[in-house]
Amino acid sequence: MSTLTPLEKWSYAVGNMPFAVKDAAFQSFVVFYYTQVQGLSGTLTGLAMFIALSWDAVTDPVVGSWCDTVRSRWGRRHPLLLLGGVPTAFLCFALFVPPQGLGETGTFFWLLAVCLLLRTFITIYFIPYSAMGAELSRDYDERTDIAKSRVTMAWVAGMVMPAFAFAVIFRSEGGVDGRLVEANYLIYGLVSCLVAGLTILFCVWGTRSVIPRLPTAADNHPRFTLIQPFRDFRAALLNRNFRYKLGASLTFGMVAGVYYTLSLYLATYFWEFSSNQLAGFVLPTALGTILAFISVNRLGRRYDKAVLLSAAAIAIALTASGLIGARLLGWLPENGHPLIYFLACVSTCLSTMIIVSLMTLSASLIADILDEQELATGQRQEGTFFAAGSFIGKATSGVGTLLAGVVIDLAGIETGSAPGEVPQSVLQSLGGFTIAVVASLSLVSFWFYSRIKLGRTEHARILQRLDKKREGQPAPG
């Protein structure tokens, strides 16, 4: 495939921002908004999000198989980008505007309904989008570069949205913490809708030129039926490297679900950071993203992707839990000391660099496994493979969110609690639970990554055999 133009590469990369906008909302604000502002219990909030994520068990494999079979003048991917993308933008707004007077039961069902719809349409958008990324290049290193650009743009949205929100929308006024003001969330929802909608349209417009170069559905590819997703998934699971990749995604997704759901609680109550301080985290987050952008390709040319992913899993266990552990052991000064915020910024920078690198290498590795699968089966299954990975990530994140919601209730943080008013025993429970989950599951993720056997040399052999096979010649052993 010909080299991508800068417009094609970066408009594709920008297409990852709507998913990041959705993630920023769920990771930073949704649980806090529904529990601390709307008064919904943490368990019910987590349950609604878990049910919606479990719905992905149906939609992800269906959309994955479906998008591999679509035939149109706009190719297999682009029609679904619009079909799923436009409703996604509007649902990002609906998430923060529940009707007044619903009561706890009504609020629960509103959250559940919006989450179900949002998860459905983001799947229709994101699975074809992810699959298209694997089709843009066959080169081992260029794939990493494409994935790096895509992940970087997601992190730009993921760090700018909360930073802008804390600095502008949720700033404290008149002694009132802006994070507890309901009207502020309506504004945040509107901003999310605009950012998601505009980036979706730019992605579709900017990548229209690659449509003629993308693979189309093979003539012998089975027509889509409702049973096809399950057959495709079963075939994908026969691939050993793919099974280990799913195991790693499963455990790391649970880490992310717990950690990100509790992050605003930890920042607000455990560390007692102000809204301005939270907005300031955009700087170490940006620095971490830049460091990942600079280093990931250089490291990728020296080490195989699975080796780097294994190292990243160990590193995230240390950086994500180290600062909390130091506080629980009494090694840090009291909240408000300048050293606390400095160390939090350093930890954020390192964690961001590691996670951006992990996400980049993970997406690139899936593209390599797809080549291995094509050699074994003769079929290109980008949609199926990315759907399986997406579902595992979202479902396990949902388990993490549910667990975090239960912990919030068990810890006893009351609705509308102000920083500094939460008992020390509650804060210790939050910190201890975060460390236990992050560290243990990160180590399990490391074990799965270490079992993957598909490096640069093996991938080059696979491409050679695929080329021979396509030419109708005997493939070398």
pLDDT confidence band for 380 (50 / 70 / 90): low
Q: Give the pLDDT of residue 52.
A: 84
Give the DSSP letter of residue 128: H
Pick the CATH number of 7-470 from 1.20.1250.20, 1.10.3720.10, 3.40.190.10, 3.40.50.140: 1.20.1250.20
Is pLDDT at 274 greater than 70 in this prediction? yes
Q: Which residues contact 93 (CB under 8 A, 6 or more apart)?
A: 189, 190, 192, 193
Q: Could you report the per-residue pLDDT of 392-445, keeping only the tens digit for each?
A: 666 555 666 666 666 666 666 666 667 777 778 777 877 887 788 788 888 898
Q: Could you report the per-residue pLDDT of 313-332, keeping only the tens digit for each?
A: 888 888 878 888 899 888 99
Give the DSSP letter of residue 173: B
State both tokens at 104. Answer: 């706890």
Q: Could you report the per-residue pLDDT of 44-97, keeping only the tens digit for each?
A: 888 888 788 778 767 877 887 777 777 878 878 888 899 999 999 999 999 999
Q: State what percent of residues in the chain have pLDDT above 90.
A: 18
- Average pLDDT, stretch 251-275? 78
**Distance of alpha carbon 124 from the chain centroid:** 16
Q: Could you report the per-residue pLDDT of 159-215, keeping only the tens digit for each?
A: 788 888 888 898 877 777 788 888 899 999 999 999 999 999 999 999 888 888 877
Q: State what percent of residues in the chain have pLDDT above 70.
A: 86
Helix ranges restricted to H, 207-337: 228-237, 240-265, 275-280, 282-302, 305-328
**Cα–Cα dist 245/159, whole Å:** 27
Q: Could you report the per-residue pLDDT of 456-468, keeping only the tens digit for each?
A: 888 888 888 888 8
Q: Give the pLDDT of residue 251.
A: 81
Q: How far apart are the first and last CA of the chain?
A: 25
**Helix, strand, coil proportions of the chain in percent (round to 5)?**
80, 0, 20
Beta pairing partners, 173 = 176
- The more confident residue out of 363 and 83 is 83
- The more confident residue out of 332 and 249 is 332
Q: Could you report the per-residue pLDDT of 119-160, keeping only the tens digit for each?
A: 899 989 988 898 888 788 777 677 778 887 888 888 788 878
C-alpha distances in angstroms, 332 versus 316, 323, 372, 436? 21, 9, 50, 20
Is pLDDT at 365 greater than 80 in this prediction? yes
* Model pTM score: 0.64
